[in-house]
Amino acid sequence: MVRSFKVIGLTERRVGAKLVENFAEDITPKSELEKLRRAKREGSNTRNKAQGRPSKRERRLIDQFMELGGNT
């Protein structure tokens, strides 16, 4: 799912988020926007606990396990 934007202007310096709409136009197809809305409602953007970097708590548990001889 990708959003597409068309740049319609440039600015001399950084601007706040509310002013960005003056410099870009959202050209994302309605079908893609609906997919994004549906995914947001279903919560599919949440991190799966079984993947990625371990949390601080998980890291501590792994370290404790390794100190107790769990690496044999």
Q: Which of 2, 7, 32, 37 is nearest to 22 (CA)?
A: 7
Name the average pLDDT for the chain.
86
Q: How confident is the model at residue 46 (pLDDT cuts 50, 70, 90)?
A: low
CB 8 within 8 Å of CB 21: no
Given a cut of 60, whether residue 44 has pLDDT beyond it is no
What DSSP character marks residue 9? -
Q: What is the pTM of this model?
A: 0.48
Q: Which two tokens stand for residue 22?
A: 């003056």
Q: Is the pLDDT of residue 52 over 90?
A: no
Domain boundaries, the chain: 5-67
pLDDT of residue 6: 96
Query: What pLDDT, on the 0 to 100 scale, is given for residue 38?
Result: 87
Give the pLDDT score at 47.
58
Mean pLDDT along residues 15-19: 93
